[in-house]
Amino acid sequence: MTFSIVYSSRTGNTAQLARFLSDNLPSEGCLFCGPPAKEALAAQLIFVGFWTDKGTCDGETAAFLPLLHGKEAALFGTAGFGGDRDYFAGILQRAQSFLPKDCRCHPGFLCQGKMPPAVGERYRAALEQNPQDPRALGMWAAFQEGLHHPNRADEEALLAWAREILPSDGR
């Protein structure tokens, strides 16, 4: 089976995951790896990586997903706030809503990613204003945890997910 790996990455997190997939999936089936482009549509299966923006995929990805008529899609990405499977499921569900009805969508994959430094500065400033604010404490903790992601465990989980989707018999 032919496949493409398409990704949008603001801070490098999703690009890291996409490169890991490209380096570890069979190269003979990969037709394309890069930012959203029509060349990617030549493949049967499209792995689409995105960064989370306001609870769904970023705008570049949202504009690309409707082009996947008659394709198989597997969405993966990163979110600054991690660890909550329900939160991740909601992001994936909202991102999948951009796919055309004739696109077969596989279950997706999300992991936590680093947030931009400016976000950390905002969270730190909020915490300095009110050191006991539970919301500010939670946001700062999420920012700190995100500094360690995506990590090797995230990459290995992504690869296991992709191998479940991609047939190993070369179809």
Place of tokens 């696109």: 103
* CA pair distance 106, 104, nearest whole angstrom: 7
Task: Report pLDDT digits (tens) over 98-121.
Answer: 999 999 999 999 999 999 999 999
User: Strand locations in the chain, DSSP E?
Assistant: 3-7, 30-34, 45-53, 56-57, 72-79, 104-112
* CA pair distance 3, 61, nearest whole angstrom: 17
Q: What angle do CA 88, 2, 10 make, to 5 degrees?
A: 40
Which residues in 156-169 are b (16+ Cβ under 10 Å) and which e? Answer: eebbebbeebbeee
Domain ranges (residues) in the chain: 3-114+149-165, 116-148
CA distances from 166 to 6, 73, 80, 158, 162 (A): 15, 11, 27, 12, 6
* CA pair distance 150, 49, nearest whole angstrom: 13
- Which CATH code is given to the segment(s) 3-114+149-165? 3.40.50.360
The SS3 of residue 127 is helix
Q: Averaged in consecutive runs of 10 residues, what is the pLDDT profile of the chain (171 residues)?
A: 97 97 96 98 98 97 99 97 87 98 98 93 93 93 92 98 82 42
Whole-number pLDDT of residue 128:
93
Whole-number pLDDT of residue 170:
46
What is residue 116's DSSP assignment?
P
